[in-house]
Structure 1
């Protein structure tokens, strides 16, 4: 396991990781979801920056999947995931109970009656609890929040092990976040709301996962990682990475 993880890190360093994931779904398969007239206007406006079709394709979302979405935040991706997995799949969301605005937005989504395959629970930050094994665990732009104590103290090693246990063998753990400067510590993560890709890889592979692909569709060289993600100079245009980890089948 350890040797495999080190080998994958070497592949990333040499820029050849794309060869590991040939044959995945195309972003064009998800464009019809973006055209849904019932999507909130704010979601549609965010599409150009967030590249949801590329994100869904990279994560490998398919019909019938059981997805565990951490911190839906009102449902930007929840709505798309719901349509992508179809009535034969299910989205189980876990929201941080301390984020009242997000909890209220999630409740509005689930109470609308339009997303029968979505369930969202507000739990203690860092809790991992799903009623059935997952095909896909999903964390977008929030892994770094697990390091911010004011949101709730989380043991991220324990969190990642719990995600590992929640997934089916061969299941995917997908993480997308904002790149941070080398050596960013906990105080820096709280200030910038960024986390180093290398740190995420190190922590997740330590839980038993194998890194199989890095998505570069949100890489933005113009962002030097020095500003908080909410700074108007970079907001919506931060340099981000997407990582796909797999729980080994054996």
Structure 2
């Protein structure tokens, strides 16, 4: 079935200020379909966690409009990685021209400290990193609880990540940078979120799931999952805070 055209998404994708490298990625990463699934509305406050060079940050800024805000969170603990620091500097530069983009560069805890401020928290292809040393001292359990608290009641938490074979322990992330979708789902639900659905638009059945995501021939073409969760509307505050 043909998906109905969304003029806001078309406008975001056709924004002339977007880098050429981003335009080249749109078809490969089925970005139009992904944005439909996210359902970001004008005026929303969206947290883009670990956005690298701001591919989604730019698109989100177009979608939320002048009355919304996009918070690009790049925790200080990971800026020691050269490519992440370079990405932070790039986002800092274009955020000066897009007044609805806010760059957050403190700790992970500081980025997620505000209570009930975000309509969506998005983490694109970096959820698995919560299981490895680069995110120390924050761990995945802490992160998901902070995410729950930071979302408005009814707000959404969306994860895109690389698929690991079913039953693979979370410890595999350090070597392959992948995670079993069932593990991610279980961890997020344990924090109090409710699962609302998935999108298979990034599924690649030709990915054997056994190599690093950076391996020749599979890089940029991994099998990826998209999971969407909701903070229950009755949860105005996180229990036990």
Q: TM-score interval w.r.t. the shorter chain? A: 0.7 to 0.9
Contact 1:125–1:152 under 8 Å retained in 2: no
Q: Residue in 2 aligned with 1:165?
A: 149
Matches within 5 A, 1:1-250: 29-97=8-76, 98-99=78-79, 100-112=82-94, 113-125=96-108, 128-130=112-114, 133-250=117-234
User: Matches of 2:37 and 2:175 in 1, distance apart?
Assistant: 29
User: Residues 102-123 of structure 1, C-alpha deviation per residue, up to 9 Å, x if partnerless?
Assistant: 2343333333432100111223
Aligned-partner SS, 2:61: helix
Q: How many Å apart are 1:155 and its aligned residue?
A: 1.9
Structure 1 unaligned blocks of 5 or more: 1-23
The residue aligned with 1:7 is none
Structure 2, unaligned runs of 5 or more: 235-241
Deviations 1:184-216 (CA, angstroms, capped at 9, x unpaired): 234411111001100010000011110011111
Q: Which aligned segments of 4 or more residues in structure 1 are displaced greater than 6 angstroms?
A: none
Root mean square deviation of aligned Cα:
2.0
Match of 1:5 in 2: none
CA 28–194 in structure 1, closer or farther in 2 if over 3 Å, else same: farther
With the length of structure 1 as denominator, give the TM-score of the two structures. Answer: 0.84
Q: Aligned in 2, Cα 1:106/1:131: closer, same or farther, shift over 3 Å? A: farther
TM-score with structure 2 setting the length: 0.87
CA contact (8 A) 1:148 1:186 kept: no
1:242 offset after TM fit, Å?
0.5
Q: Is the 8 A contact 1:137 1:163 kept in 2?
A: yes
Match of 1:20 in 2: none
